[in-house]
Amino acid sequence: MIGQLLAPWSPFVCLKRNIKLGKPTSSQAKSTIKSSLLLIVDPELRDEEKDRVWSYFGSACGYCGRKLNRAAREGHVDHLIPVSLGGRNHIGNRVLACAACNGNEKRDLPWEPFLKSKCTTPDAFAARRARIDAWKAHFGTDDLQLPPDVLAVLEAATARVFAAYDAAVEEVRALKNKMD
Ligand SMILES: [Zn+2]
């Protein structure tokens, strides 16, 4: 009904379309808000930065050494320090990885013991660790994790949006109750 009253480009019409595609819950909405604010200070890699990661790691997994076919979308640009532990999207915190090393196997493990578990010889471990260390050293330590003061501002801004969102949900729920 509302859709018929509003112009097709109205944000509410677009929102209604999105809602039809899935079931956005309050926690999904909050997670989208949080990541959209985070991406402002910690943007995803640009294409040319992804090219640089592929080239530096010689189109091979930085952990297990498996050769990767980029055209077949085999490689992933993994995070050395996982995002869940405050790792940044910055190129200095990224390593080329195969699907197995990027996925379930590594999870939130620190990269060094994980790398060791993927190397069959001490020489391979030393060489791959040196490659990752040189990559990291090329960038600053601030490139690996967001500084605490930035995180504090981000957290406060996110909390303010969440509070406003919760209040809006209450308001609209009350409206819905009146409609029923
Ligand atoms: Zn691998």
Domain positions in the chain are 26-42+146-180, 43-144
- Alpha-carbon distance of 154 to 38, in angstroms, equals 7
Quick: pLDDT tens for 21-48: 555 688 899 999 999 999 999 999 999 9
Distance 42 CA to ligand 1 centre (A): 25
- Alpha-carbon distance of 65 to 60, in angstroms, equals 5
- Alpha-carbon distance of 98 to 101, in angstroms, equals 5
Distance 67 CA to ligand 1 centre (A): 9
Q: Residue 83 — pLDDT band, cuts 50, 70, 90? A: confident
- Alpha-carbon distance of 97 to 151, in angstroms, equals 27
Distance 2 CA to ligand 1 centre (A): 51
Q: Is the confidence at residue 13, as pLDDT, over 70?
A: no
Instruction: Find, among 94, 90, 95, 96, the residue nearest to 142 by Cα.
Output: 90
Q: Residue 163 — pLDDT band, cuts 50, 70, 90? A: very high
Distance 180 CA to ligand 1 centre (A): 55
Q: Residue 20 — pLDDT band, cuts 50, 70, 90? A: low
Distance 155 CA to ligand 1 centre (A): 34
Distance 93 CA to ligand 1 centre (A): 17
Distance 38 CA to ligand 1 centre (A): 28
Instruction: Find, among 71, 42, 46, 48, the residue nearest to 59 by Cα.
Output: 71
* Domain covering 43-144: architecture: Orthogonal Bundle (1.10)
DSSP 129-150: HHHHHHHHHHS-GGGTB--HHH
Rounded to a whole number of angstroms, the CA Rg of the chain reads: 22
Distance 64 CA to ligand 1 centre (A): 4
